[in-house]
């Protein structure tokens, strides 16, 4: 599975990098996440400049596509030329968004009447776009998932991992990254949050 993490100028490092780091724990299982951007380099909200691993058009070929948030997301959502470059197909792709990235899914018409998660700043804009906002950290419905709050990026990554390789392989990958002394509790919680919205148990 190839995963595109869509990352624009002004991006939130937590959204893009946590998902990138966690999902790539499954590289040996054939799952690989890459940063996809509209330009060769993008600079984060805190001034960190990175080189894109893939062009924005990679979203058309990826098996899963995740949108992080950023300080310019509202302007990006209004940029028709840029949004036209994002062509997605929920019949064959997993599509997720974090915080203000949820606004992009709304503008792409991918949320329908499903409740969606976002951050408090973006919430009014998402509601204005006709989407019901849920007071939850994570929710998934079929191939579409949204998360709200920077640290909820771990839930979005867990969802992709679970859908790609199953619960147990995801548990093992998360366990390595989880805080020492809290590993079982941290992993169990992440799997419960995602499992509840998938309608599956987090334990065997």
Q: Which CATH class is domain 2-169?
A: alpha beta
Q: Is 78 left (phi over 0), alpha (psi -120 to 50) or beta?
A: alpha
pTM to 2 decimals?
Answer: 0.94
Encode the chain (204 residues) as per-residue pLDDT tens digits. 999 999 999 999 999 999 999 999 999 999 999 999 999 999 999 999 999 999 999 999 999 999 999 999 999 999 999 999 999 999 999 999 999 999 999 999 999 888 999 999 999 999 999 999 999 999 999 999 999 999 999 999 999 999 999 999 999 999 999 999 999 999 999 999 999 888 765 444
pLDDT of residue 198: 80
pLDDT of residue 112: 87
């Amino acid at each position: 599975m190839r995963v595109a993490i869509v990352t624009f100028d002004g991006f939130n490092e937590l959204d893009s990098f946590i998902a990138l780091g966690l999902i790539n724990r499954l590289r040996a299982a054939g799952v690989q996440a890459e940063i996809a951007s509209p330009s060769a380099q993008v600079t984060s909200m805190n001034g960190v400049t990175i080189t894109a691993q893939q062009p924005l058009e990679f979203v058309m070929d990826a098996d899963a596509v995740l949108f992080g948030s950023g300080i310019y997301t509202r302007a990006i959502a209004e940029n028709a030329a840029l949004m036209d470059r994002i062509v997605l197909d929920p019949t064959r792709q997993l599509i997720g968004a974090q915080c203000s990235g949820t606004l992009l899914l709304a503008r792409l018409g991918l949320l329908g009447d499903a409740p969606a998660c976002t951050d408090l700043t973006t919430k009014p804009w998402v509601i204005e776009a006709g989407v019901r906002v849920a007071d939850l950290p994570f929710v998934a419905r079929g191939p579409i998932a949204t998360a709200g709050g920077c640290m909820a990026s771990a839930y979005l990554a867990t969802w992709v991992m679970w859908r790609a390789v199953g619960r147990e392989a995801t548990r093992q990958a998360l366990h390595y990254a989880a805080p020492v002394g809290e590993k079982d509790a941290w992993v169990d919680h992440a799997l419960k949050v995602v499992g509840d919205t998938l309608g599956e148990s987090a334990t065997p």
